[in-house]
Chain A
């Protein structure tokens, strides 16, 4: 890993289009400003880890989901939700949704 030392107000460039600037230092936190093209995702590394965990959780709980959402799988789904009706409803009356 390349390690660089920068002061507040200084920046580094990554490739031709990405700039990372040290905006300020607050105690043990470093505030960074990042300029990058819109197609380059700039996210906290821990968010990627959290999404990865959620994806695995979703895979692990698929069977339980089927039982909860599709109690009569193979026939017309039934039942109402205690929260959003994600099974049946379309929030936009003009949304064709599914028949």
Chain B
């Protein structure tokens, strides 16, 4: 069952505080964040409240690679009620957009907590192309 059926993204409030108790990978001090849905899109923006200069744009992992939530759930890496986002980044010139499936963000809106996984598996690449350079 896709995570979105457990926790439809439409239930995510316009903006909500979430805590990453362990921070992000490589940025352990960034614990407090605010997540907001980008209107009229499937995108989310996550901005650090510890360092507002740092933020991310993310998208549900199943929008990048269908079935990803099921695979994570089958491996016991996510639980019921948790949904998963992939962080987007821009690389190269011309710029291309990639999604990070190796380090997905697992979010529990009921508890307002989140964690970043590290997934050691070729099925979860670090840079999945989602838009080629133009």
Contact = CB atoms under 8 A, between A and B. Distances in A.
19 contacts: A38-B75, A41-B117, A47-B120, A55-B24, A57-B90, A62-B57, A65-B88, A65-B90, A68-B90, A68-B131, A69-B88, A76-B40, A86-B130, A92-B2, A92-B62, A96-B9, A97-B10, A97-B42, A98-B41
Nearest to B105: A55
Interface of A: 38-39, 41-44, 47-59, 61-62, 64-66, 68-70, 76-77, 81-84, 86-92, 94-99
Contacts of B10: 96-99
A59 B129 contact: no
Contacts, number: 161
Most buried by B among A39, A42, A84, A98: A98
Central interface residue in A58, A61, A87, A90, by most chain B CB within 10 Å: A58
B66 A87 contact: no
